[in-house]
Structure 1
């Protein structure tokens, strides 16, 4: 494993979708979330700040860029890079480490919860084809949305998310402080309209199924959430040298499409099969899939096309329940997936990332399975 790229640690902040007591607290600003998350990451990974050689920011947030630039003011040797997607950031980190195995790369990003786009034709996003949707009914979508909420709720109650979250200290006033160590500031209840799917033409484009077709993109879109995520990667030999115990191996990171996966089609998924074959990992060796949940149709097509057990795909809930983190959603998915693989004894996990700038895959091997 000497020259391989390993993931030493991956964490995220608590996710928020609402104000606390009707107030906006400074600790929930992007800059603060980034600072707390990165500091917590380095403490858990047992890596000194001066060991970081490269910082890659994900997304187009000004806060992430300012955070990275502040690092270079203290450590002039640090290389800074920007990327619009998690997959592109991980590929950049992988290429840098492969070229120079002693590099230690921080991949970091944050979002303030402002949705920059909506699913639909107005953004140029494709909608699934009739052939891809013929077995996906509105009832399928309703059931999937409910399942995503239920899984996230069960995992929160059982403490499954604790390993991935860096607690946040929230100062309510000069006398009261609250420690947020879970996603309690997000929307935690299934929306009141969970069992009502009646999109209007103005609000939502229908599929290509024609008049009377039962398969429309669900109004159950993921709510935008505020949060931060961070990973630290290095070469396996460098990790040994530093006495670190990596959680995973980055097998591959590749941008496959120049369109979002929200409008996933069977042709997209054929490319996924081809990619896995090229990496020498067959589909039946993947223990967990994390796929975009901006709308319910996307994971349902993955389940249908690959014939997956439902608990192999987004087993701890996805963006429909937790909230969507824009470009850094891939970091959240990868962080959640590593913990789930460790807890279940899984080996390989696949993260599909999606964004307006393109979609890709992250293939990871868990190294800490019992």
Structure 2
């Protein structure tokens, strides 16, 4: 089995809902990061074996294999193929996993993996306007329950007895950490500025400085009248894209490139589709077991902040060190462009690993339908 390594990772700034990136088509936004990889690495795009691209709501602007449209928009040779994958919020993390698996198996030598979501143009849930995504068999199995992530987050908060104050404290800390990272220039080396209608977006747009539990206390619950989940302790609706270059150590050397990290282990898992958001817990356990590592061996954890109870429940069940969790904030502070988030989190985690000389990083995402990805990467000298 060959090693797979990540040579470079880039992302756009995350645009807020109906913000600067709302005017940019998903294929064109994707092309920005594809071409940034070419400019940064000097690779010939014609030598890329495949582009594996995550996207969740694959209708409208994001239909008809948006990954392929991205390759064409980028001006890459027509013979370069692409495929669009959907594992809900973990779609671009799944894309990275599949790229690594293809390289490790020897079927591919040079792959681009990543993803995109322009939620301003293709809203979450838009697919429901054209049919019932679950079908009679699924609805009968779960007694006609409505599969709602917000209600799932409420159920998690109730199960672990997370108070509204605790959730709002976590959300406020996400903004604080994101602001500190932006001010320190942590993201500058992997951000690709985007021009849109004469405005250049150079940093994540959704950050709300000065967010505090006291301010969040004034927001109304979003899913239950007496609930604890609201817009301020949930991920933001956003636009964004990210891309990573995956190859072998030998091919990287031939190209004159220095790998950042080795793909160590990947795992996927399923959980209750009603609660829906607990998949990262068994996925993490599975990945650690497969890797022969413990949670304490991991120096940084990126657990997607879909809703504040998700990473908090993950912490409670894994016994992980909270100081290693989401050191630069997360989706509550800067947004969650669904199909791009997995690759975005990986770029952020790699930045933290390089900055701190951290050997192992673990990334995990909760996903609609109750699935989850967990990926472990190892920093290389």
TM-score range, shorter chain: 0.7 to 0.9
- Whether 1:15 aligns to 2:14 is yes
Residue in 2 aligned with 1:29? 25
Distance 2:270 2:179 in 1: 33
Residue in 2 aligned with 1:147? 173
Residue in 2 aligned with 1:347? 359
Structure 1 residues 271, 319: closer, same or farther in 2, change over 3 A? Answer: closer
Residue in 2 aligned with 1:90? 96
| 1:347 CA displacement | 1.0
- Whether 1:133 aligns to 2:160 is yes
- Whether 1:297 aligns to 2:309 is yes
- SS of 1:164 mapped into structure 2: coil
TM-score, normalised via structure 2 length: 0.80
| 1:164 CA displacement | 2.0
| 1:244 CA displacement | 1.2
- Whether 1:116 aligns to 2:128 is no
1:182-197 to 2 correspondences below 5 Å: 182-183=203-204, 185-189=205-209, 190=211, 193-196=215-218
Q: 1:58 aligns with which of 54, 61, 81?
A: 54
Residue in 2 aligned with 1:322? 334
Distance 1:98 1:312 in 2: 29
1:55–1:79: 8 Å Cα contact kept in structure 2? Answer: yes
In structure 2, runs of 5+ residues without a counterpart are: 127-144
Comparing 143-152 and 241-250, the one that deviates more = 241-250
Distance 1:262 1:244 in 2: 44
Residue in 2 aligned with 1:209? none
Distance 2:51 2:240 in 1: 18
- SS of 2:323 mapped into structure 1: helix
1:11–1:37: 8 Å Cα contact kept in structure 2? Answer: yes
Residue in 2 aligned with 1:225? 238
Structure 1 residues 130, 363: closer, same or farther in 2, change over 3 A? Answer: same
1:53–1:103: 8 Å Cα contact kept in structure 2? Answer: yes
Q: How many residues end up aligned between the 2 structures?
A: 343
Q: Deviations over 1:299-319 (max 9, x none)?
A: 111222233333311110000
Structure 1 residues 337, 355: closer, same or farther in 2, change over 3 A? Answer: same
2:262–2:377: 8 Å Cα contact kept in structure 1? Answer: yes
Structure 1 residues 279, 223: closer, same or farther in 2, change over 3 A? Answer: same
| 1:167 CA displacement | 1.8
- Whether 1:168 aligns to 2:194 is yes
- Whether 1:241 aligns to 2:264 is no
- SS of 1:226 mapped into structure 2: strand
Residue in 2 aligned with 1:5? 4
Comparing 186-195 and 279-288, the one that deviates more = 186-195
Distance 1:355 1:6 in 2: 25
- SS of 1:350 mapped into structure 2: strand
Q: Deviations over 1:185-235 (max 9, x none)?
A: 334343995123653xxx4148xxxxx9xx844552211111111111011
Distance 1:157 1:24 in 2: 22
1:5–1:235: 8 Å Cα contact kept in structure 2? Answer: yes
Comparing 316-325 and 301-310, the one that deviates more = 301-310
Comparing 254-263 and 28-37, the one that deviates more = 254-263
- Whether 1:80 aligns to 2:93 is no
- SS of 1:308 mapped into structure 2: coil
TM-score, normalised via structure 1 length: 0.82
Structure 1 residues 29, 261: closer, same or farther in 2, change over 3 A? Answer: farther
Q: Deviations over 1:74-96 (max 9, x none)?
A: 242x3432211123322321222
Residue in 2 aligned with 1:284? 296
| 1:73 CA displacement | 7.7
1:260–1:355: 8 Å Cα contact kept in structure 2? Answer: no
Q: 1:180 aligns with which of 169, 194, 201?
A: 201
- SS of 1:160 mapped into structure 2: coil
Distance 1:252 1:147 in 2: 30
| 1:138 CA displacement | 1.5
Structure 1 residues 102, 303: closer, same or farther in 2, change over 3 A? Answer: closer
Structure 1 residues 79, 137: closer, same or farther in 2, change over 3 A? Answer: same
| 1:245 CA displacement | 0.5
- SS of 1:346 mapped into structure 2: coil
In structure 1, runs of 5+ residues without a counterpart are: 173-177, 207-211
Structure 1 residues 117, 355: closer, same or farther in 2, change over 3 A? Answer: farther
